[in-house]
């Protein structure tokens, strides 16, 4: 059980990007009445943005660009 939680917590930045940032991005684009590029739906666009940002945070160890990569 402990190993399961360690693996889950290790993936939290990616999960956060997909589960929270993706719908938030989609809703913001719809609320601003902006056209989503490439003919995507707002949710697909949100999943791309949230996925890339979550993956960035997963690899880099931080959500924002600051200094050296944490190990």
Q: Note the pLDDT tens digit of each residue in 14-62.
A: 999 999 999 999 999 999 999 999 999 999 999 999 999 999 888 888 7
Q: 47 and 27 in contact (C-beta within 8 Å)?
A: no
**Reported pTM:** 0.78
- Which residues touch 26 (CB under 8 Å, ≥6 apart)? 41, 42, 43, 45, 46
Number of domains the chain is built from = 1
pLDDT at 69 over 90: no
Judge whether 32 lies within some domain: yes
Judge whether 50 lies within some domain: yes
In angstroms, the CA 43 to CA 59 distance is 24
Judge whether 27 lies within some domain: yes
The number of residues in the chain equals: 71
Judge whether 56 lies within some domain: yes
In the chain, % helix, strand, coil (3-state, to 5) comes to 70, 0, 30
Judge whether 29 lies within some domain: yes
Residue 37's domain comprises: 9-60
Judge whether 65 lies within some domain: no
């Amino acid at each position: 059980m402990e190993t399961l939680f360690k693996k889950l917590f290790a993936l939290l930045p990616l999960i956060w990007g997909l589960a929270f940032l993706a719908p938030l991005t989609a809703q913001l684009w719809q609320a601003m009445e902006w056209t989503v590029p490439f003919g995507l739906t707002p949710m697909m666009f949100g999943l791309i943005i949230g996925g890339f940002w979550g993956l960035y945070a997963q690899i880099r160890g931080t959500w924002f660009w600051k200094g050296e990569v944490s190990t």
